[in-house]
Each structure stands twice: as C-alpha cells, then as structure tokens.
Amino acid sequence: MRLSVNIDHFATLREARGASEPEPALFALLAEQAGAMGITTHLRTDRRHIKERDLEIIRKVIKTKLTLEMAATEEMKKVALKIKPDVVCLVPERPEELTTTGGLDVVANRKALAPYIKNLAKGKIRVSIFVDPELKQIQACRDLGAPQIEIHTGIYADLKPGKARDKALADVRKAAEFGDKLGIEVTAGHGLDYRNVGPIVAIPQITELSIGFFIVARTALVGITQAVREMVELLRK
Ligand code: PXP
C-alpha cells in the first residue's frame, strides 16, 4: 500500500495569511523523506490553496510520483499538459464546497470525458477518476479507458462505527474488487485518519491511499511543542 500525501492544506495555511510561507514544496520533500511514495495536489479553479508556481516547483523537486487532482475543464487540461504530472485525477468541483464532496458522475458525463481522457493520455499522462463506490461508475471508467480510479472513502470515513459504516466499507470493498476485476488500478482516499484507515488498508485490491487533511492537522499538533520551544529559546537569548 503506497501513501500519497495530499499537500493542499499546507498551502491553505500560507493563503490564510497571504504570506510566502510555509512553502508547500518543502512539505512535499519532507513527506517524501518520511516515506511517502507520492505527492498529491488539487489545483482548484479559484486557486484557493495550490497555485501553478507550486506545481511547477513540486514537479521539479520531488522524486516520487506527482498526482494532480483537477476538474475536467479546458483550463486545467492546458495546465496538466504543461506541468506533466505522472497522474491526473479527475474530480468534480463545486465552487462553494470546502472539500471535494463526492465522486465524479462518469456515467452522466461520459460523452465529454471520452475526448478529454484521450487528450491527456496522448500527452503521456496517466488518468485516474475519483468515483463513488458504485459499480456503474467504475464500469463507465473502464469503458472510457481510464487505467486507474480513486474510490471515494469519505462516506465510510465520516460515519461512526456501526451498521451504516459497515455497509459503506462493504461498498468500498466491492468497488475495489470490481475495478480490479476489470483490470483497473484501484486507489482510494478522502477523510482517512489513524482511526479509520485500518479496514481500508485491509482491502487487497487497493494499491495507494491519498491522505491530506489529517496529516496536515497532525503536523501542526506534533510540531507545536518544538515550534514554541524554539521561540521561547530565542526570546531568552
Ligand atoms: N482524494 C481526493 C479526490 C480529494 O479531493 C481529497 C481532498 O483534497 C483527498 C483524496 C484527500 O482527502 P483528505 O484531505 O480528507 O485526506
């Protein structure tokens, strides 16, 4: 199981102050050093966290795999073909949302997605699609020739342990088995943390997890003691 660290919210921290720090590319490098096997970023239409300059720098400096999450728009296609991430993960995007709230409706958007995916593939970019754990969506990804999918784990992750969560987990498992049977590489992500990741890791067909918010939030907690100590030390001097 590979971990791809989503660094978006490290950039959110920078944007909260409109400052030049913290530098997302540094976070990406440290994540790699700590064992991450990939870096994921979402370039949103409103550029609320990651910017093109971040992508350009990260593309140059990281040694693992870069996954670019993006909406299937003409603007984003141009960016992707310029930056050349290893993987583009197509996601739905609603301007008012705080985070991606569900998978892409591949069935409904089949016609528009077909040439879009072909263009990216021509540019030697591997295409993944973020989908809800629904077999018809996964079948549509296969029909469009997508070599990879990311199954949305957010529905499972947001539920408390119990019957509804068991059902959501079973849906993810069935979706992973189905994708694998169709010959698609199956990855997963959204809302995963130390507590809920175990049952997802136990699904053998899933090869990679994209985890962001929890890791960035945890970074602040485990780093606060050292950061305050350093400042106190400086004040003492
Ligand atoms: N996968 C996709 C498609 C996402 O949009 C996100 C959030 O940016 C993630 C995975 C990571 O989710 P989280 O930040 O909750 O770990």
Q: What is the pLDDT of residues 106-151, one digit of tens each?
A: 999 999 999 999 999 999 999 999 999 999 999 999 999 999 999 9
Q: Residue 230, class by beta-carbon neighbours within 10 Å (0-12 exposed, 13-18 middle, 19+ buried)?
A: exposed
Among 71, 144, 151, residue whose Cα is nearest residue 110:
144
Binning pLDDT at 50, 70 and 90, where does residue 99 land?
confident
Report the alpha-carbon distance of residue 149 to residue 142 in Å, rounded.
Answer: 9
Active site residues: 42, 69, 190
> Phi and psi of 17, rounded to 5°?
-110, -5
Binning pLDDT at 50, 70 and 90, where does residue 98 land?
confident
Residue with tokens 């629904």: 134
Is pTM beyond 0.85? Reply is yes
Kindly state if the Cβ of 192 falls inside 6 Å of ligand 1.
Answer: yes
How far away, in angstroms, is 7 Cα from ligand 1 center? 10
Task: Give the list of residues 6+ apart from residue 7 with CB closer than 8 angstroms, or none.
Answer: 24, 27, 28, 31, 39, 40, 41, 50, 58, 212, 216
pLDDT at 101: 80
The single-letter code of the amino acid at 205 is Q
Specify the residue with its C-alpha closest to ligand 1, atom 3.
130
CATH superfamily name and code, 2-236: Aldolase class I (3.20.20.70)
Q: Which atom of ligand 1 is nearest to the CA of 9?
A: 14
Kindly state if the Cβ of 150 falls inside 6 Å of ligand 1.
Answer: yes
Among 180, 107, 93, residue whose Cα is nearest residue 141:
107
Domain extent listing, the chain: 2-236
